[in-house]
Structure 1
């Protein structure tokens, strides 16, 4: 097994164990055993269990923020509706979380804790997430696409709706008998989100056919 495969196997083992036993309840030896690796290998790649935690959370949030940021480029020069860009950002975030659903669940759950690492991530990645959404919404308002200027509660509600299916997949499966990891769920949930977002935009904007999300 090459180095990259070994590292990925350790990461996957850690994600599974952290989700089941929690970070505190999982030892480096547990991870090594599940990954069929030795403790020295984990130390080589990540330094410690804390280092592995930081790597997992940073790795996830980098991709998460990038999914939004891709729709914030060249806003001044583009004629594309900001409404479409916002919906594409939402779709990107949902697809990214679904693709990494186990890691998404762990990271979103870990963010609810008050730790030094979480505070650092909030002041960097999560603050940037808020800024990116704010950038799109300000641009939409200034172009006359929105009915009124969106406030911070809009972003709070949006983020809550985007993360909820991946933070509480078991609740959705057991109570609603829906499967968040399936594409059908993703399509239907995105459709509902589009309708909610549309209520904040002018009819002339939302009546334009939405480009296929890819």
Structure 2
């Protein structure tokens, strides 16, 4: 059986990515339990044997999907932090990256939030949590360095920075009908533009205020 443990997006071939994206769509629409491998194979236009060859099971396919969506995040963050820019400029880039990725991959987040809350599930989140922890350590080291140089407040709960970004985004998105009416956004195109410009700017301002606020 194909050993599916790649570390970077480039390790997936086009067919594997197609299958994962179809599975993501169906899991988000119908739920994990409500989606069969046969449905995935039909919509992805591949046979069931190919899915079995690549992933082994539906549970392993979900694990692979989480790996796929998180694979290059650490690289992108480290690329931002390696630039010769000021701390607050890097914060703006990090926030924009997080919002862009979560908006693009919101289906995956919906699946994870639902499945991770279940106790009776034969799905391993070990690698997913390991990657999230590694990503957090990169951000934590950056914030602590900023604190040591007097740029960021020392009165910070660093683990709550990313949840603050995500919480603002998901509150907006899960109430999008209300906010689309409130901001006169006629369609999904205008919604996307609002997220990437107005909402992102608001979250950037919030996070920078949080980081630099002195008690």
Q: Give the alignment's TM-score, normalised by structure 1.
A: 0.75
Contact preservation (8 Å) 1:105, 1:167: no
RMSD of aligned Cα (Å): 2.9
Equivalent pair of 1:17/1:26 in contact (CA under 8 Å):
yes
List alignment gaps of at least 5 residues for structure 2: 1-11
SS at match of 2:153: coil
CA distance in 2: counterparts of 1:56 and 1:31, whole angstroms: 13
Question: How many matched pairs?
Answer: 193
Q: Distance in 1 between matches of 2:211 and 2:161?
A: 16
List aligned pairs for 1:1-214, cutoff 5 A. 4-73=13-82, 80-114=85-119, 117-122=124-129, 124-152=130-158, 155-162=159-166, 165=169, 169=173, 171-177=174-180, 182-202=192-212
Deviation at 1:72, TM superposition (A): 3.6
**Which blocks of at least 5 consecutive residues in structure 1 are unaligned?**
204-214
Distance of 1:119 and 1:8 partners within structure 2: 21
Instruction: Report how far residue 188 of structure 1 moved.
Output: 0.9
Q: TM-score, normalised by structure 2?
A: 0.74
The higher-RCO structure (CA 8 Å, 6+ apart) is 2
Is contact 1:68-1:93 (8 Å) kept?
no
- Deviating runs (4+, > 6 A) in structure 1? none
Alpha-carbon separation, structure 2, partners of 1:55 and 1:168 = 28
